[in-house]
Structures are given as structure tokens and as C-alpha cells.
Amino acid sequence: MHIIRSLSRASLVAVALVLVLATSVVAHDCYNASASATGALSKAQHSQAWVLAADVREIISTGGSGFFPLGSFPILTACQQKVFLATYAQSGLPLVFATAGKQAVGQGGVIAANNPNMDTGLASNGKGIDRFDATSNAIFAAIGAGYNAAFASSCP
């Protein structure tokens, strides 16, 4: 019964992620996959061009972060957070997602959405600027796997 309840909670979390990211983040559709957590937070706090989309550590400790209001996610115990973070780390995804609040114009006036290089996998290679529309499935899977592992753990 415990496993079924855990899977149900993780499924609800995944659905919430899909709904919120699909509506909020697509408008701000890129993030720097190479930035450290500290660097991404600093950009979000001190830049007019970047905003905090989500800090995964804050989500699991407070139930919300960035675009996700408090109460959007289950809060994990300290033990569960360790399990979650160990599982999430295997994804190679950043812990903090700071997203562009202003559209960047690249060389020759080409924006990312119209850049032919995006079709070559550059939008999801984990280096430099990645796009949520190219990486959202991996993000959802990593967060879902983290919650599944945390709920299934032997943590009190």
C-alpha cells in the first residue's frame, strides 16, 4: 500500500510539473544548463534578463520555488531530500533553472527559436543555453524519479 501511495504522489507531482511548466516556462523557454547553482541564482537575483524558474533544492524543502508557489509540491524530510538529490544528480540536470525573461537576439538577428542549429541537438546537450521544450521530458523524469526514490526510501 505504501508503494501505491508513493507512486500516486509522484504521479501527481509529475502532472503538476507538466501543467505549470507547460504554461509558465514556455513563455521563458531557455536556461543556462552549464551554470552552477550559485551562478544561476545570482543571475536570477541580479539580472534584468534572467528570472528564477525553479530551484530543485527549494522545491523539495519548502514545496515551492520560482514559478511554483509554496504548496505546489510535497515537502520532503531531510533524509528524503538526500535520497531525492542523489537520484536527481544522476540525471546531470542543473539544480537551479534561471530562465531568460527577455528574448536574446543572436548573431544576424537570429533568435533561438529560429536558429537552424537547434535541430542538431544543441537545445538539449547540457552545455550553454538549453530549451525547456527540448528538455522538459528529461526534467520531469528526473524530478519524478527523485520523488519516487524519496517516497520509497526507508527514511522515517
Q: Where are the beta strands (DSSP E) in 19-140?
A: 30-32, 50-55, 96-100, 129-131
* Close Cβ partners of 135 (under 8 Å, ≥ 6 residues apart): 33, 93, 123, 124
Structural domain of 24: 2-152
The count of domains in the chain is 1
38-69 confidence digits (pLDDT tens): 999 998 899 888 889 999 999 999 999 999 99
Query: Does the pLDDT at position 6 exceed 90?
Result: no
Answering whether pTM is above 0.85, one says no
11-29 confidence digits (pLDDT tens): 555 555 544 544 444 444 7
